[in-house]
């Protein structure tokens, strides 16, 4: 019955739904999980790497986290080829703003401009929507640290803690239970790793399957985007009791 | 001939401009306000071709307002100055505006500031600046008497010194001036300095 409306992104079904957009969200449900948590002194992003083949060589240290500008980073869940396009437009937008105003782009404006692009693909004919959800972590002088989540329909919202990708519902409800206001950044990292370890399919959490990135203010007052190295990530996992030390595990 | 100048004091910025609308050898009007409020905490004082001046300052004003409506936050003075410079620079190689601008503003984080933007899109952050024939006198007087952290009284006194010098030394000195200030409470009209009354037109401010 709904077949007639499946092939067009631009047409509502009689029940008032846009199937292509819903299918895009379905596609994201199969991607690796990413979690973002806002703390009082920074924003934490963790992601699950889905790539498992030992033969695959990853060109960069991160495959889910991208720096958009000096003060904004994002985590991706969904079709990576689609995401690359959007990340590129986000970077262009950020630089274009700096060119106009000689100031860093406010985080929400950046998110909004990207979501406008996403929305366009749900309305203007013949195209499919982007199969990507984003978590944006950033800092600006007006609103401090911020975390935003966006979906293929072009919707976005500000969150204290959010999850996208596989099992995001379970992760979201765990975050809802365990999130407290006034978390420190370290506590946020701990919470994020804990939630990810419980919602991931694999039994043991290792640094090869994980990515951790943080946005915070350095002592000099500059915004810093820092990706956790595999070594220190392994140490963190042991420290927080999420995984066993390597010696004992083997 | 045109005289627009301004300076930054302790917690405020002040700008003054002549109010003569001149064409060729004729004075059409002596109460033309050449200082426009960009938003609640920004003043844009402009000199140059009068059509360009009105068109361009209004264009900037409306864009600053649009930004505020779209984003819910105001532009900082620095951002507005850079935006203005950018618009002048893109127009410069197409159909240039002949306007020189002094942009004064007050921001919570940075306090008062003054930006000098000329018609070939030079942008400078300055403590004191001037445009037009009056600048020969106002710049020298401000060089002599300006110091950082001036009080409002001292600053207005200096502005009056400049106006007096212009009136006594400049051939075809404009008769009337308007003074506006911007501080933490916003941008506002401060005073007129009129030597002739233009009764035919009701003053706009």
DSSP assignment, residue B32?
-
CA B28 to chain A, closest CA, distance in angstroms equals 37
| Residue B19 counted as domain residue | yes
Nearest Cα to B105, choosing from B71, B132, B81?
A: B81
Q: Do B79 and A103 touch (CB under 8 A)?
A: yes
Q: CB burial class (10 A; 0-12, 13-18, 19+) of residue B181?
A: buried
| Residue B169 counted as domain residue | yes
CA distance B135 to B18: 12
Report CA Rg, chain A: 19
Architecture of domain A11-50+57-239: 4-Layer Sandwich (3.60)
- Chain A residues with CB-CB distance to B79 below 8 A: 101-103
| Residue B202 counted as domain residue | no
| pLDDT at B201 (0 to 100) | 55
- Chain B residues with CB-CB distance to A109 below 8 A: 71
Q: Residue A7 above 80 pLDDT?
A: no
| Residue B126 counted as domain residue | yes
| pLDDT at A250 (0 to 100) | 42
Which residues have C-beta within 8 Å of that of residue A182, sequence separation ≥ 6? Answer: A40
Which residues constitute the domain of residue B160? 4-194
CA A96 to chain B, closest CA, distance in angstroms equals 12
Q: Do B82 and A106 touch (CB under 8 A)?
A: no
If one counts the domains in chain B, the total is 1
CA distance B56 to B49: 10
| Residue B203 counted as domain residue | no
- What residue spans define the domains of chain A? 11-50+57-239
Q: Residue A4 above 90 pLDDT?
A: no
Q: Residue A97 above 50 pLDDT?
A: yes
Instruction: Please list the ranges in chain B whose pLDDT falls under 50.
Output: none
CA B80 to chain A, closest CA, distance in angstroms equals 7
Please state whether beta strands B123-126 and A161-164 pair in parallel, antiparallel, or not at all (unpaired).
unpaired
End-to-end CA distance of chain B: 22
Q: A104: helix, coil or strand?
A: coil
| Residue B104 counted as domain residue | yes
| pLDDT at A248 (0 to 100) | 47
Of B71, B82, B86, the CB nearest to A109: B71
CA distance A223 to A219: 9
Of A100, A102, A106, the CB nearest to B73: A106
Q: With the CA atoms of A46, A51, A53 and A56 taken in that order, what torsion angle do they form, in degrees rounded to the nearest 10?
A: -100
Confidence of residue A68 (pLDDT cuts 50, 70, 90): very high
> Does A113 touch chain B if contact means CB atoms closer than 8 Å?
no
- Chain B residues with CB-CB distance to A101 below 8 A: 75, 78-79, 82-83
| Residue B172 counted as domain residue | yes
Q: Do A142 and B73 touch (CB under 8 A)?
A: yes
Give the range with max mean pLDDT: A17-21, A78-82, B15-19. B15-19
Beta-carbon count within 10 A of A164 CB: 28
- Tens of pLDDT, residues A24-65: 999 999 899 999 999 999 999 999 987 667 788 766 678 899
Beta-carbon count within 10 A of A148 CB: 24
Tell me phi and psi for residue B134, to 5 degrees.
-65, -20
Q: Residue A249 above 70 pLDDT?
A: no
Q: Do A100 and B75 touch (CB under 8 A)?
A: no
What average pLDDT does the structure give for chain A? 90
> Does B83 touch chain A if contact means CB atoms closer than 8 Å?
yes
CA distance B105 to B4: 16
Which residues have C-beta within 8 Å of that of residue A1, sequence separation ≥ 6? Answer: none
Please state whether beta strands B21-23 and B12-18 pair in parallel, antiparallel, or not at all (unpaired).
unpaired
Question: Complex ipTM, two decimals?
Answer: 0.86
| Residue B201 counted as domain residue | no
Q: How many residues does chain B have?
A: 205
């Amino acid at each position: 019955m709904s077949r007639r409306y499946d092939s067009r992104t631009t047409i509502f079904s009689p029940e008032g739904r846009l199937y292509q957009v819903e299918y895009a969200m379905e596609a994201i449900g199969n991607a690796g999980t990413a979690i973002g948590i806002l703390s009082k002194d920074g924003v934490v992003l963790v992601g699950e790497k889905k790539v498992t083949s030992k033969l695959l060589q990853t060109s960069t240290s991160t495959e889910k986290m991208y720096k958009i500008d000096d003060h904004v980073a994002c985590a991706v869940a969904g079709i990576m080829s689609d995401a690359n396009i959007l990340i590129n437009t986000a970077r262009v937008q950020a630089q274009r703003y700096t060119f106009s105003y000689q100031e860093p782009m406010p985080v929400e404006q950046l998110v909004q401009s990207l979501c406008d692009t996403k929305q366009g693909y749900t309305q203007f004919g013949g195209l499919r929507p982007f199969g990507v959800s984003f978590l944006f972590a950033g800092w600006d002088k007006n609103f401090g640290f911020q975390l935003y989540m966006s979906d293929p329909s072009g919707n976005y919202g500000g969150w204290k803690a959010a999850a996208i990708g596989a099992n995001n519902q379970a992760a979201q409800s765990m975050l809802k239970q365990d999130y407290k206001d006034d978390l420190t950044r370290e506590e946020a990292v701990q919470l994020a790793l804990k939630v990810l370890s419980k919602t991931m399919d694999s039994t043991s959490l290792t640094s090869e399957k994980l990515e951790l990135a943080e946005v915070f203010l350095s002592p000099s007052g500059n915004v810093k985007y820092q990706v956790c190295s595999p070594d220190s990530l392994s140490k963190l996992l042991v420290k927080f009791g999420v995984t066993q030390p390597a010696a004992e595990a083997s | 001939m045109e005289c627009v100048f301004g300076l930054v004091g302790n917690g405020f910025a002040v700008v003054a401009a002549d109010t003569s609308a001149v064409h060729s050898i004729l004075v059409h009007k002596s109460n033309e306000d050449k200082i426009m409020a960009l938003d609640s905490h920004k003043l844009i004082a402009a000199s140059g071709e009068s059509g360009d001046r009105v068109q361009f300052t209004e264009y900037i004003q409306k864009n600053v307002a649009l930004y505020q409506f779209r984003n819910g936050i105001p532009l900082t003075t620095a951002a507005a100055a850079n935006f203005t410079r950018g618009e002048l620079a893109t127009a410069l190689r197409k159909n240039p505006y002949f306007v020189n601008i002094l942009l004064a503003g007050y921001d919570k984080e940075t306090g008062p500031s003054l930006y000098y933007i000329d018609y070939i899109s030079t942008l400078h952050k300055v403590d004191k600046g001037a445009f037009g024939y009056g600048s020969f006198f106002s710049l020298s007087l401000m060089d002599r008497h300006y110091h950082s952290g001036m009080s409002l009284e001292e600053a207005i006194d200096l502005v009056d010194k400049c106006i007096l010098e212009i009136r006594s030394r400049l051939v075809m000195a404009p008769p009337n001036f308007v003074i506006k200030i911007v501080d933490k409470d916003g941008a506002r009209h401060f005073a007129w300095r009129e030597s002739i009354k233009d009764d035919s037109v009701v003053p706009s401010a």
